[in-house]
Amino acid sequence: MIACPSLVGVTEERPARLDIGVVGTGRVGAVLGAALARAGHHVVAGYGVSLTSRTRAGALLPGVALVDVPQVFARSGLVLLAVPDDALPGLVEGLAMTGTVRPGQLVVHTSGRYGVGVLDPATHAGALPLALHPAMTFTGTSVDLQRLAGATFGVTAPEPLWPVAEALVVEMGSEPIRVAEQHRALYHAALTHGANHVVTLVNDAMDLLRATGVAEPDKVLAPLLSAALDNSLRQGDEALTGPVSRGDAGTVGSHLTEITAAMPEAVSTYVALARRTAGRALAAGRLKASDAEALIDVLAEPPAP
């Protein structure tokens, strides 16, 4: 059973000032450590392996000692685990087995994929588990500290520790949202599909524009993509425009021919997204079923490279 938050010095307004250790001073860990320091907490130790991580720690966490992981835990009341998703379960299990985790110590991870279940070995050792995932991309610079303002954190926490999690996120200038343990993987998939894949899509579009001789494709796309994103967030499927939503099979066919010639590796992406767009347009009533037949035929057999 999770101990009452009063054991970690929580008040109704905010948690007590904490001694914080950061395991993984990469893009996320160093920035969140700096954000917590800005809120008045004390970052007392960090751990980073690569030269880049250690350099980033020097820039964002000046004066913070970089030590080994057991020393980070020994010095800290809250330990932030900002490591790759695949490394997290083994790290937590190893820390628990070696007695590195102390009872009453807050152990927080930043993975979007996992909830607090991945921290069970540490919890069984007496730790207080939190999962705080910032729903934003990171550059690993001070720019990210400004971007945290208004950002959202996906939070999974035992109910007694929710006030602690909420206060920590609010202190970093962000908004906490509850994500149930069983929904963490789907939550992370949604963010990845939206954010990571749009980068691939935009870069493909810029490469295609370069193939036409456009020297600065970013200037061409920026107003269009900004408007499309804004409209999508505000209007949902009502924001759908373009030849697929109109059922212009001939136009889509010409697109496939030209993309096949210019950048054949992008054809499968165009086809997959066009099919999904057609499905959403049909469901939303933006595309008539009669107009969709020819479109589906074109997308069923894209041109061979």
What string of DSSP letters covers 254-287?
A: HHHHHHHHH-GGGHHHHHHHHHHHHHHHHHTTSS
Chain center to CA of 188: 7
Q: What does the pLDDT look like over 190-217, one tens digit per residue? A: 999 999 999 999 999 999 999 999 999 9
Residue type for 43, please?
Answer: V
Spans in the chain with pLDDT lower than 50: 4-13
- Give 1's DSSP letter: -
Integer Cα distance of 54 and 46 in angstroms? 9
Q: Are 106 and 77 in contact (CB under 8 A)?
A: yes
CATH class label, 187-300: mainly alpha
Integer Cα distance of 5 and 21 in angstroms? 19
- Give 18's DSSP letter: -
Determine the pLDDT at residue 305. Answer: 60
Q: Distance between terminal CA atoms of the chain?
A: 61
Q: Are 155 and 177 in contact (CB under 8 A)?
A: yes
Closest residue by Cα to residue 92 from 84, 102, 81, 106: 81
Helix (H, G, I), strand (E, B) or coil at 118: helix
Residue range(s) occupied by CATH 1.10.1040 in the chain: 187-300
On the CB side of 235, CA atoms within 13 Å amount to: 13
- Rg value, the chain, Cα: 24
- Give the DSSP letter string of 133-201: EE-S---SSTHHHHHTTT-EEEEE--GGGHHHHHHHHHHTT-EEEE--GGGHHHHHHHHHHHHHHHHHH
Closest residue by Cα to residue 106 from 249, 3, 260: 3
Determine the pLDDT at residue 5. Answer: 44
Superfamily of domain 5-179, CATH level 4: NAD(P)-binding Rossmann-like Domain (3.40.50.720)
Helix (H, G, I), strand (E, B) or coil at 292: helix
Residue type for 243, please?
Answer: P
Q: Are 35 and 168 in contact (CB under 8 A)?
A: no
Residue range(s) occupied by CATH 3.40.50.720 in the chain: 5-179
Q: Are 81 and 109 in contact (CB under 8 A)?
A: yes
